[in-house]
Structure 1
Amino acid sequence: MARHEDLRGQVAIVTGASSGVGWQSALRLAEAGVRLCVTARRQAALERLRVEVLQRGGECLVSDGDVTVAEDVERVVRECVAHYGRVDLLVNAAAVQSYGYFDQLPWEHITRVFDVACFGYFRFARAVLPHFRRQGHGHLLNVQSMLAAGSAPLLSAYASAKHATLGWAQSLELELAGTGIHVSNVMVPSVSTPMFDHAPTMLGWRPVPVPPTYDVDLVARAVVRLAKRPGRTSVPAFLQGRLMLWLNGLAPSVGKAVLSRFGVQMQTTDMPLDRPEGNLFIPVEEGVGPRGSVPPTPAWKRFTATLGLAALTGGVVGGAVLGARGLLRAAR
């Protein structure tokens, strides 16, 4: 496992940097001394991020672009290398999602989710890999999702895109063994990003993340740790992370029982909302910055939910329905 404990002077491209994990990861990397090239579709949002980075003593190049457009991707990498002379780290963080039952999702929504959350990662990796190979070193750091190792109703397109992205990253790691180029992944739980304020919904109700929700900085700090020690897969959350992986291995029927019965309820509110397109194809002005309208779940509620999951595991399916109601109330 490689170690680069001192990140000062390294150059990183961060995608999806206009909000959420991308924004906060860029700030944390800047604090560690990384020189940034930030990209997303919203240039005005990126300029606001640049101001914050400069206020913290960092360096930041803004290069707006769409991860679904190959010419944009190649231009961003080209501008980064022209400005800094090299690129050492790619943080793939761009993502979109669309809420709805699979057979009710417009086909163009399904393909767009894949084009951003999966193929966008591929495009940027292909653009930076020639530079990494010439240098003899580099780091692909992919912001993944816990849904890459699981599933949820209403998010079939996003979950399958993240399954594909994680499989690609694991295969790429094998191909790059011994080249000095490392691949890392951070498995993200539900976090307090504006993604849920942007996402289209076919349901007519305001969507929310599967509870509990963690602060976005949990992931940003994990990104910095992986940048310092590449070549790993990080699962920074416990309840909606390591515990869920363990539970799925021990008693997968429990998770299926909870999500099939309560998964839709967990992700919807009683607030009517007409947002059939969201930010899938055209960026929106709202939701700039790291955090969205859904706050992080307090730690004491996460602890209560952990006890609920422990009870579910003991009773397996028999107590799943009753326990899940308590889990939902505690996580909210």
Structure 2
Amino acid sequence: MKRQDVKGQVAIVTGASSGVGWQSAVRLAEAGVRLCVTARTAQALERLRDEVLQRGGECLVVPGDVTVQEDVERVVRECLAHYGRVDVLVNNAGVQSYGLFDALPWEHITRVLDVNCLGFMRFARGVLPHFRRQGRGHVLNVQSMLSRGGAPLLSAYTASKHATLGWAKALRLELEGTGIEVSNILVPSVDTNMFAHAPTLLSRAPAPVPPTYDVDVVARSVVAAVRRPGRTRVPVFLQGRLILALDAVAPWVGQFLLGHFGARMQQRDEPVERREGNLFQPMTRSYGPHGPVPPTPRWKRYSATAGLAALAGGVVLGVAGLARAAR
């Protein structure tokens, strides 16, 4: 795909009140993209607009909930009225709920699926008629490494991400030849406020599966995807391309590690009582790109990379040796 000039394009960014959405909006504005940002928390969006304006960008704020069809239609309508066009949809809004599957309240499960999966679909249906009339457009889905894997305590979130990636693949096939592109970004654990917002049935605060990356890694990948659409991007190596490769040759490694230690990995030594979190009402006390768990130091990531790479190499050599012995 030829590199596109993104300056002057118009992008709707959902879930822009914190984390990946916030930082992606900032990076897109720096690249010259005109923004329409949406989330449930108007105050946070106003602060984001202030930052974008300080950096010389353009930003329209339209609060809304991705689970409410009228809100979705209003965001698209106001963006078109303000800018006269939409070029990119950055589907990013997402929620989690921590707990064992059979202990999660059913309304938590359905809400996670509604936000993470149906929310993406609602916004895509909202912009696709305009994209078709325009003869071009781009649906960019901020996915997760859990779109291809799994983690304990996050069954509903994992299900929503698998479903959304499958939908995106089918949508891309349907749009072949129309000039409308579909891209996906498989996001690793990043330092967002999701871990300060997510409800949990446990007694300790949620934490990302280590290692944790700076949210700007994903934001830069979003900009790269807007410039070169139509791909599924994996922006990091250790908790990205290496994990996918290792899972292909030795899936038992991830099964063992997450099966035995995954639940403990996802809890901080900090007591918490947060059974509802931001599932049904936004939490306004925290906003911005970064969250309560800082990025893992590089030396730790490099050490883990070397260890996993050695393990993967040993597995490949072992499989090759068995194949030779069988001949």
Q: What is the SS of the residue equivalent to 2:60? A: strand
**Aligned mates of 1:125, 1:212 — CA distance in 2:** 32
After superposition, what is the alpha-carbon deviation per residue over 1:63-118, rounded to whole angstroms, capped at 9, x for unaligned? 00000000000000000000000100000000000000000100000000001011
1:233 is displaced (CA, Å) by: 0.7
Give 1:182's aligned amino acid.
E
CA offsets 1:13-64 (integer angstroms, 9 cap, x no match): 0000000000000000000000000000000000000000000000000000
Q: What is the deviation of 1:310?
A: 3.1
| Aligned: 1:42 with 2:44 | no
The one-letter code matched in structure 2 to 1:126 is R
Contact 2:204 2:269 in 1 (8 A): yes
Q: Which residue of 1 aligns with 2:116?
A: 117
Q: What's the counterpart of residue 58 of structure 1?
A: 57
- Residue 126 of structure 1 is matched in structure 2 by 125
Following superposition, the deviation at residue 293 of structure 1 comes to: 1.0
How do 1:10-49 residues align onto structure 2 when only pairs under 5 Å count?
Answer: 10-49=9-48
TM-fit CA distance, 1:311: 4.4
Q: Is the 8 A contact 1:254 1:313 kept in 2?
A: no
- State the alpha-carbon separation in 2 of the partners of residues 135 and 37 from structure 1: 18
State the match for 1:182 in structure 2. 181
Letter in 1 for 2:108: H
Residue 239 (structure 1) shift = 0.4
The Cα shift of 1:307 comes to 2.3
> Is 1:308 matched with 2:294?
no
State the shift of 1:314 in Å. Answer: 5.8
Residues 255-266 of structure 1 aligned to structure 2 (within 5 Å)? 255-266=254-265
The amino acid of 1:289's aligned partner reads: G
Letter in 2 for 1:164: A
For structure 2, which runs of at least 5 residues remain unmatched after alignment?
316-327
Say which SS state the counterpart of residue 277 (structure 1) adopts. Answer: coil
- For residue 50 of structure 2, what is the amino acid of its counterpart? V
State the alpha-carbon separation in 2 of the partners of residues 10 and 122 from structure 1. Answer: 22
Contact between 1:2 and 1:231, CA under 8 Å: does it hold in 2?
no
Q: How large is the Cα RMSD of the aligned pairs? A: 1.0
Quote how far apart the aligned CAs of 1:309 are: 1.8
- What does residue 91 of structure 2 align with? 92
Q: Is this contact kept in 2: 1:92–1:142, CA < 8 A? A: yes
What SS does the corresponding residue of 1:118 show, helix, strand or coil?
A: helix
Matching residue of 2:3: 3
Q: Percent identity?
A: 72
Mapped partners of 2:3, 2:278: distance in 1:
38
- AA aligned to 2:97 is S
Q: Secondary structure at the match of 1:134?
A: helix
Q: Structure 2: how far apart are the matches of 1:2 and 1:140?
A: 17
Q: After TM superposition, which residue ranges in structure 1, 4 or more long, deviate above 6 angstroms?
A: none
Greater shift, 303-312 or 180-189, is seen at: 303-312
Contact 2:242 2:309 in 1 (8 A): no
State the number of aligned residues: 315
TM-score where L is the length of structure 2: 0.95
Give 3-state SS (helix, strand or coil) of 1:30's partner. helix
- Partner letter of residue 175 of structure 1? E
Q: How does 1:162-241 map to 2 (within 5 A)?
A: 162-241=161-240
Provide the rounded CA distance (Å) in 2 between the counterparts of 1:272 and 1:314: 40
**Inter-partner Cα distance in structure 1 for 2:151 and 2:254:** 10
Question: Distance between the aligned counterparts of 1:277 and 1:294, measured in 2?
Answer: 20
Structure 1 CA distance for aligned equivalents of residues 126 and 133 of structure 2: 13
Q: Secondary structure at the match of 1:152?
A: coil
1:287 is matched by which residue type in structure 2? S
Q: Can you list the C-alpha shifts for 1:278-331, whole angstroms capped at 9, x where unaligned?
A: 000000112200000100001100011112323444666xxxxxxxxxxxxxxx
Equivalent AA in structure 2 for residue 162 of structure 1:
K
